[in-house]
């Protein structure tokens, strides 16, 4: 074989090896890309210490029950707290927290506001609401129904009082007109809303059962 033919054969072999390396590199990149895509979509994080004894695994896209409870507690407490005058505060609260409740439930609450007004518990009244047990979360307070829906149980104490003439926010027990402990069971759902307005992507959809008064303090 001449020197020219030997060089040509070597060149062909080099080109073939480079082509094989290129194909192998492409296949490897595709494989790694698929693995990276699946890893980003289905991560699992193990959280020590043992919670419960067997540990806790949280997957991407799954919302912890404790977070659903915290969301429901915060939104409901915020809506039902009127620092100055219930007539203005209640309406303002519904507008402010509208991204966190479904339109149907907002209509229900608007009707409740009318009833409160007619009963004399809204105009010229202040109200505070807090957890009867301090807002402590218990696993039994949240039940996952599937398909992005939960039942959340809250036991809240509501204190409604006549607002002082000077619109002071200071609590005065002598002005209390209603003080009661009430159990609420809400249905909470995944809510596809603008992330900049509702970063939880959750919404209170309504009462699962009518609220029940457990205890009346006044």
pLDDT in tens, 163-212: 877 655 555 545 899 999 999 999 999 998 777 889 889 999 999 999 99
Q: Which residue has the tokens 């809240």?
A: 156
* 206 dihedral zone (left: phi>0; alpha: psi -120 to 50; beta): left
Instruction: Calculate what percentage of the chain has a pLDDT beyond 90.
Output: 56
Structure tokens at 31: 């494989």
Quote the CA–CA distance of 183 and 215 in Å, as a whole number: 10
Which pLDDT value is given to residue 49?
44
Q: Which residue has the higher pLDDT, 65 or 174?
A: 65
* 148 dihedral zone (left: phi>0; alpha: psi -120 to 50; beta): left
Condensed to tens digits (0 to 9), the pLDDT of residues 105-142 reads 999 999 999 999 999 999 999 999 999 988 789 999 99
**Burial readout 36-60 (b: 16 or more C-beta within 10 A, e: otherwise):** eeeeeeeeeeeeeeeeeeeeeeeee
pTM > 0.85: yes or no: no
- Residue 50 reports pLDDT greater than 50: no
Quote the CA–CA distance of 109 and 111 in Å, as a whole number: 5
């Amino acid at each position: 074989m001449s020197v020219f033919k030997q060089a040509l054969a070597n060149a062909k072999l080099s080109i073939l090896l480079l082509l094989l390396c290129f194909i192998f590199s492409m296949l490897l990149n595709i494989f790694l890309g698929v693995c990276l895509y699946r890893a980003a979509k289905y991560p699992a994080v193990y959280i020590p210490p043992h919670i419960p004894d067997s540990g806790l695994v949280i997957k991407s896209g799954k919302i912890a029950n404790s977070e659903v409870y915290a969301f429901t507690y915060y939104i409901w407490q915020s809506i039902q707290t009127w620092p100055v005058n219930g007539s203005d505060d209640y309406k303002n609260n519904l507008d402010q927290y509208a991204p966190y409740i479904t339109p149907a439930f907002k209509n229900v609450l608007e009707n409740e506001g009318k009833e409160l007004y007619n009963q004399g518990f809204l105009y010229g009244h202040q109200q505070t609401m807090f957890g009867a047990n301090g807002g402590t979360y218990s696993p039994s307070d949240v039940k996952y129904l599937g398909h992005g829906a939960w039942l959340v149980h809250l036991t809240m104490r509501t204190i409604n009082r006549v607002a002082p003439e000077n619109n002071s926010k200071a609590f005065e027990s002598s002005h209390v007109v209603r003080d009661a402990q009430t159990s609420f069971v809400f249905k909470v759902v995944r809510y596809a809303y603008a992330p900049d307005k509702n970063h939880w992507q959750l919404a209170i959809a309504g009462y699962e059962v009518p609220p029940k008064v457990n205890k009346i303090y006044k």
